[in-house]
Amino acid sequence: AKAIGKNNYHYYTKSMRDAALKRMTLIADLRHAIDNDEFYIVYQPIINLHDQSITKAEALIRWRHPTRGLVGPDDFIPVAEETGLIIDISDWVFERVCRDVCLWRKTLCPTLQISINTSPTHYTDPERCITLWLEKMLINRTPPQAVLLEITESLLMDANKSISTKLFQFRQAGVDIALDDFGTGYSSISYLKRYPTDFLKIDKSFVHSMTEVSNDKVLCEAIIVMAKKLGIKVVAEGIETQEQYHILQSMGCDYGQGYLFAKPLEHQAFNALLEQQKAT
């Protein structure tokens, strides 16, 4: 800011002050969002590209803010991570997903598996560790196959022995693990060695550029071939066009997720989709 003229400096600090204030308000609001029942979950179907069945979905959080309207996760999850609020939020998501998936498995889809996005903070917090979820699953009788934990590759940057130990505990208990946003981190392939992985999710940036940048198509195919040899299932994210779908299918990609098939759906709409699938 020093190099900027006096006037600009003034505006610069004002905008910084505004940003800080906005952030503080957001944090204050976030603290009450659970108690005020402002969060809800949407479920985005994940399609089996071999037989078009839907037995998986990703749980994505939404925040209905009383004055600001709908706030997307990209606008509050990072702040929640920094402040530690993510732990309460994740616990809330987990409980809600367990309740929904158990019901749906009983009534509409016995093999349904819902994936939950997890935060590295939750693996490293000494008091509120994510492994408590294993106990909760036993208590509320959620079968381990009913949930899958997604962990974002780039968030593993400070690659951590304790995270991998805990992921192994989940895996041992029968819970599947997915490496999210695969290909966007600095050392994607070394993560495959260090972390137990059942699924990897090809980041949507690759899927989107696949039809324009031939190198990205090659990368996608290479990831799929490598995963197959390692016994890892592949989910392609962000499929929006028939062309992307057919290319991925021809490459042998196992699962697909994206607006072409379905947007993230509210509880009732996902329920209706499962009903429709059961009826046919």
Q: What is the C-alpha separation between 23 and 71, in angstroms, rounded?
A: 13
> Which spans of this chain sit near Ca ion (rule: CB under 5 A)?
117, 150, 180-181
Among 55, 113, 119, 197, binds ligand C2E (CB under 6 A): 119
- Taking the complex as a whole, the smallest distance from the CB of residue 280 to Ca ion amounts, in Å, to 28
On whether the CB atoms of residues 164 and 196 are closer than 8 A, the answer is yes
CA dihedral 91, 96, 102, 106 (to 10 degrees): 180
Decide if residue 117 touches ligand C2E (CB under 6 A).
yes
- In this structure, what token pair is assigned to residue 2? 């020093």
Q: Residue 176 binds which entry of ligand C2E, Ca ion, none, with Cβ cut-offs from 5 to 8 Å by kind?
A: none
Q: Residue 55 binds which entry of Ca ion, ligand C2E, none, with Cβ cut-offs from 5 to 8 Å by kind?
A: none
Q: Residue 258 binds which entry of Ca ion, ligand C2E, none, with Cβ cut-offs from 5 to 8 Å by kind?
A: ligand C2E
Decide if residue 264 touches ligand C2E (CB under 6 A).
yes
Give the binding range for ligand C2E (CB under 6 A) out of 18-26, 27-35, 210-218, 232-240: 232-240
- Taking the complex as a whole, the smallest distance from the CB of residue 235 to Ca ion amounts, in Å, to 9
- Taking the complex as a whole, the smallest distance from the CB of residue 70 to ligand C2E amounts, in Å, to 10
Q: Residue 197 binds which entry of Ca ion, ligand C2E, none, with Cβ cut-offs from 5 to 8 Å by kind?
A: none
Burial tier of 221 (Cβ tally within 10 Å: 0-12, 13-18, 19+): middle
Residues 29-48 that bind ligand C2E (CB under 6 A): 44
Q: What is the C-alpha separation between 237 and 257, in angstroms, rounded?
A: 5
Q: Residue 142 binds which entry of ligand C2E, Ca ion, none, with Cβ cut-offs from 5 to 8 Å by kind?
A: none
Burial tier of 64 (Cβ tally within 10 Å: 0-12, 13-18, 19+): middle
Q: How many residues does the chain have?
A: 280
Residues 176-195 that bind ligand C2E (CB under 6 A): 180-181
- Using alpha carbons only, how large is the chain's radius of gyration in Å? 20
Residue number with CB closer to Ca ion (150 or 254): 150
Residue 119 carries which DSSP code? -
Phi, psi of 5 (to 5 degrees): -60, 170
Among 147, 258, 273, 274, binds ligand C2E (CB under 6 A): 258
The continuous run of DSSP H or E covering 56 comes out as strand 54-65
Residues 137-156 that bind ligand C2E (CB under 6 A): 152
- In this structure, what token pair is assigned to residue 107? 């009534």
Phi, psi of 233 (to 5 degrees): -85, 150
Looking at this protein, which amino acid is placed at residue 248? Answer: L
Decide if residue 97 touches ligand C2E (CB under 6 A).
no
Please give the residue ranges that form the binding site for ligand C2E (CB under 6 A). 44, 60-61, 72-74, 77, 90, 93, 117, 119, 152, 180-181, 204, 237-240, 257-259, 264
